[in-house]
Amino acid sequence: MRVRLVRVLGALAVFAAPWCWAQTWEQIAEDQLLCVTFVSAAERAQIEAPLLPRNLTPASLADYFARPPRNEAHERLRYLTVLSALAYFADRTNDQVLRSHVLTTIGAFADRFADGGHGAVFAQIGRCARAGLVSASIERDEPRLAVVVAHDLIARYRASPLGESVEDAPLLDAIREIALHAETTDGLRDLIGYAMERAAAVERAEGLRASRLYAAAAAGLVRNGDGAKADQVGAKALALAMTGRDTEAVLRLLPVLYDTWQLRHGMAKANELTGAVLARFPVPARFADRHDEFEVRLRHAYVLEGAGEFEVSGAERVRANQALMTTVLSIPYQRNAFARLDAFDATIADPITGMTNDAAWTKLVMADAARAKGDYLNAYRGSYDTIVAQLQRSFVADARDRMNTERKVDRTLAALAVLRDAIPAYRSEIDDRMFGLAQMLSYGRITLATIAAGLDDVQVDAKTKADLERFFTLSTQNSVWLRGLWERQIASDGFTFPAPKQLWSAIQFLSVQYNETQKSLPDYIAFVRTKAPDLGALITPRPMNLAAARNSLRPGEVLVATLLTPRYTYVFGLNRERALVHRSAITADEVRDLVVRLRGSLVASGSGGRITLPPFDAEAAHRLYELTVGTMAPLLADATDIVWYGHDALGAVPPAVLVTKPGPAKLATADALSAASYLGDRYAISVLTDLSMLGATPTKPQEPPEALLGIGAAQLSEEELEGDGGGTVFDFARGMDAASLAELPRLPESADELRTLADTFGAERSALLLGGQANHDRLVAAQPGRYRVVAFATHGFKPGEIAGIDEPSLLLAPASAEADPLEGLLLTRQIAALQLNADLVILSACNTATGDGRPRAESFTGLAQAFFTAGARRILVTHWPVVSRAAADLTVAVAEGVTRDQLPLTMSLKRAVKAMREAHAGDALVAHPAYWGPFVALGR
């Protein structure tokens, strides 16, 4: 009985209600600007600056921002506060690129003000900006950049005299954040050294301050594996805290003491020693610092578990979970903390039985069907309903909401996978719920982008339609809003600042973002469901059951949908007659490693007109097949078409290149490459961007009057456009800037490609924008919504591939020959604003299936999402840099299949690939999946 209660309590911890932060978002942003979120009232008072009132009202907020500045410090501080508010919202949506830019700007301005002798507050802001940049770099998986910023932070500290204790906060934040990545040892080591140096300087006069610094240093030493040194430093911190007789200071030390003892002596000894400390210093009901609260309660739960106090341990984990439910903790810290908390049941063993809670619970329910039924009906059936209900109130672009949803789904799925085998009578219902959970994790911004195109058909007044469009833009193109605010309203040269009216307007602008995506979200959802039921069905996740999903499939179609979680890989297979569910004990990280291996064998290099291809990693391609489509073999015998949904890293894999039969690990020759059995050889494959779209039937507007609008060959002159575009050129770009754009391959064959497409779809009903005419102004003037097919044949770029361009883009021509080449880029924000009515968009360019640059963004959230937002219904995209000759040949052949032979897009793509490979038999370049494999058809 005890094990069962603990396992259920562990599940309930996931669903604990969020802890409500009492401050307004404006105050949170200012606190983050100054690193005073978790400092004491006495330390907050050390900041001598005109800050926002603690009892903030609309009137006092307007007085602070909208009136002329009280003094020079007020003018500068409130400007940086507005920038910090922008960084806060970028963080909410995990746009860490924008956040990094804003923090860099804050740091530069603050340094200038501080170095000019304008107060210690600006030195503090500069240090805080660097601590924030460390965190953003960790989230972006750029550990070396985090180390560089850490060293810069130390230099800024050393450039100023030792000040008040509040000035330690950025250092403490930086240590905690940089310790979250395994490849930051050097930076962490140097931050530890500086923290100990700083602690030694204040030890005699400010013991508790020194204790806090020593504690942070000891935690870093544990992370670096130096248990002996951590023991010495932690003991010094403890002695100072005991001398000060400060219970909070002692408890703050408890996590690092526990970790040190565990590192040196094992968990049992750590539990014993920590229990002795807790007997004298009990855990309080509330903590001032949510980091401290989580860390202390988690260690307390370890101690209680070791003592056999299972129910109390579970309750303590619930409280630890509650401490994490706030926006004031960093995303990388929360992700790490959630992972440690959620691993409790799978990793902490009962000292008597030696079994973890998960293992013990699995053994019990598999041996006792009555117990399994009770747990399902009393806990996990309700868990599913809770997740669905919570997602009806969740803002789709909120990174923390997304992270919490993922962990809820992971834990619930793991339990349901056990219960479906333990209680066969409920298997059908459980499978429905498991498939529903997979749909909820697939649901995202691209779903809303897809249905946003239907707003034109919603019959409401102009103001209401404008409100709806704003809501969808905030949900799917939030970076456009935030970047627009930065560029148009609050830019500054550091010497002159926006007028008070502009600052107040910026705060009001951000309030709209907050109110409409947080407070008013349920109202928008309800309104859309009432006024546009077809759109409303998809405005929040509304999972289909398996029967409905099967009925949405056509004869011969099989859905293969994947789901990666930290511990397992799930695959769902459906045809019109039956459904299968499969779980493998393969972690998401293991699958990602395989995807990285496969993708690495598909990236070519080009020099002097020659293309070099690496050996194809057929072993990785076959292993990925075995883990995914191969598990659905009973459904595939009579199938003709596969509908694929690749979750997480699997979204970056075109399923056609998966290898269905074992063979040599590496393939390099034409014969070996041609002999391999590829999934795309047997099945026509369509790709879903979201499982929610499986049963969607978006309203199709009236058929456009024109056939094809083609845009491309933007670098070619009039003379070159008249020439013969021959040769196969590899479209390859890395580390570009404005000057080097002109050095890219000029792609003369792209003009031929577009001309042939126009002939295929009907030249008399087609229009081409080539060379200098292929610019944004001419594209908009051409009214692209009048065309059934829109095709781009040009270079495509991932976020950051061109210096200063942080979003995916396509290369068009600038408005004039004298203009900066960067002005010719067609950005995702511009694409999303196009008014399309296209059955098909062809993106004959590189990397058009990639994400938008956010950390952990799934495929298709970049250019593809923008085109769906604009009104595309199906898109032909590419997964990696393409050989331009292959792009030209394939798109033309696909178009011929669609028009002349009336084939579905997927069947036409399959046939075109087969014909191209057969026509070039013996050519190792054409036989390589890098040549023919990047193209996928999005939509059905």
Q: What are the CA-CA distances from residue 616 to residues 170, 658, 913 (Å)?
A: 47, 11, 17
260, 331, 23, 476: CA torsion to nearest 10: -170
Cα angle 370, 374, 378 (rounded to 5 degrees) comes to 175
| Closest to 602 (Cα-Cα) out of 593, 612, 592, 610 | 612
Give yes or no for a contact between 779 and 712, defined as CB atoms under 8 angstroms apart. Answer: no
d(CA 263, CA 223): 10
Q: What are the CA-CA distances from residue 469 to residues 287, 460, 500, 842, 898 (Å)?
A: 42, 12, 29, 26, 33
User: What order of strands is seen across the sheet that includes strand 809-811?
Assistant: 796-797, 809-811, 825-827
> One-letter amino acid identity for 739?
A
The token duo for 352 is 């008597």
DSSP string of 371-382, one letter each residue: HHHHHIIIIIHH
> Residue 710 half-sphere exposure, CB side, CA atoms within 13 Å?
29
Give yes or no for a contact between 106 and 112, defined as CB atoms under 8 angstroms apart. Answer: no
Buried b (16+ CB within 10 A) or exposed e, 235-244: ebbbebbbeb
The tens digit of pLDDT for each residue in 616-648 reads 999 999 999 999 999 999 999 999 999 999 999
Name the average pLDDT for the chain: 88
Query: Looking at beta carbons, which pairs linking 516-525 to residues 24 or more positions away fall under 8 Å?
Result: 516/470, 516/471, 516/474, 517/395, 517/397, 517/398, 517/474, 517/475, 517/478, 518/395, 521/393, 521/395, 522/392, 522/393, 524/467, 524/468, 524/471, 525/392
d(CA 238, CA 253): 7
Binning the chain into helix, strand and coil, the percentages to the nearest 5 are: 60, 10, 30
First to last CA, the chain: 50
> One-letter amino acid identity for 666?
K
Q: How many helices (H) and strands (E) in the chain?
A: 44, 18
d(CA 810, CA 804): 15
The H or E element that residue 123 is part of is helix 120-139
d(CA 450, CA 864): 10
Strand 766-770 and strand 787-793: the pairing is unpaired
d(CA 861, CA 848): 10
> Residue 59 half-sphere exposure, CB side, CA atoms within 13 Å?
0
Give yes or no for a contact between 37 and 28, defined as CB atoms under 8 angstroms apart. Answer: yes
d(CA 739, CA 743): 8
pLDDT at residue 818 in the model: 65
Token pair 């309903």: residue: 385
Q: What are phi and psi of 365, to 5 degrees?
A: -70, -30
d(CA 841, CA 938): 10
> Residue 20 half-sphere exposure, CB side, CA atoms within 13 Å?
2
Q: What are the CA-CA distances from residue 613 to residues 503, 600, 850 (Å)?
A: 53, 10, 21
DSSP 658: -
| Closest to 883 (Cα-Cα) out of 746, 728, 724 | 728
In the chain, which residues have pLDDT < 50? 1-6, 8-21, 724-734
d(CA 51, CA 57): 14
- Angle, helices 331-342/290-306, rounded to nearest 10 degrees: 10
DSSP string of 507-560, one letter each residue: HHHHHHHHIIIIISHHHHHHHHHHH-HHHHTTSS--PPPHHHHHHHSPTTEEEE
pLDDT at residue 608 in the model: 57
